[in-house]
Amino acid sequence: MSDDPLRRSLLPTNSSPLERALDHGFARLLERIDPPFPELMNPVATPLAFLPYLAADRGVSEWSSAAPEAEKRLTVELAWPTARQAGTRKALENAAKGLQLRPEVRAWHEQTPPGPPYSFSVRAFTEQPYSEAIDARLDRRLADAKSERDTLTVSVGLSAFGRHVIGAATVCGELTTVYPIVIEGLEASGQAFKAAALYTVETSTIYPQGS
């Protein structure tokens, strides 16, 4: 077996014919393997089974193995931008976007009337099913994204379309936002209501985020 003159080898010049043959044979075997990079490190293209390891590599602290694939990939994709911009409006927005929410963030000086210094108002909207578990996950992500001195006022809105019955009363028409964080056990989805009217119910809650 002759060595390929274009192939580099780490064997010393005094290597035996058997050593050179093994080196050549293993090199041919390795050439059959398609290198997984750079797709392996790309959150959009990496295999689903590898996502938890890529999340750990990027320092993702809040992770749910039961989350949808799209959420997992978005969480990993936004991990580094969120960490680099921690303490800024963009980091808070990314924290909510990773859970497939649509955030609206206002600093204290942008509010009417102005809020306490170094506070943010975070409103997040979704048409996906929402529950207390997701609300707790959002709290953890926001806590990681804010600075130590910041306090947050958080509200989550759920828009739904159609006609819905609560107890004995039927509610329909057009309002603004659902805040399921104040209704224990509520789970709803904007995809579940397909009648003609826009239906929403509005409540509100405000609570500070601990540092």
Query: Residue 70's pLDDT band (boundaries 50, 70, 90)?
Result: very high
What's residue 59's pLDDT? 95
DSSP 34: P
pLDDT band with cut points at 50, 70 and 90 for residue 165: very low
Q: How confident is the model at residue 167 (pLDDT cuts 50, 70, 90)?
A: very low
Binned at pLDDT 50, 70 and 90, residue 6 comes out as low
What does the alpha-carbon distance between residue 95 and residue 109 come to, in Å, rounded to a whole number?
A: 21
| β partners of residue 153 | 121, 208
Q: How far is CA 59 from CA 36, 78, 128, 188, in A?
A: 21, 11, 26, 31
Tell me the percentage of the chain whose pLDDT exceeds 90: 54
- Best-predicted range by mean pLDDT among 54-68, 122-136, 156-170? 54-68
CA distance 119 to 24: 64
d(C-alpha 100, C-alpha 82), whole Å: 15
The reported pTM is 0.64
3-state secondary structure of 122: strand
Name which of 103-107, 140-144, 163-167 the model is least confident about. Answer: 163-167
Could you give the 3-state DSSP secondary structure of residue 164?
strand
> pLDDT grade, residue 65 (50/70/90)?
very high
Q: Residue 209 has which token pair? A: 């985020």
194 band by pLDDT with thresholds 50, 70 and 90? very low
Q: Which pLDDT tens digit goes with each residue over 44-56? A: 999 999 999 999 9
Please check whether residue 91 is in contact with residue 143, taking contact to mean a CB–CB distance below 8 angstroms: no
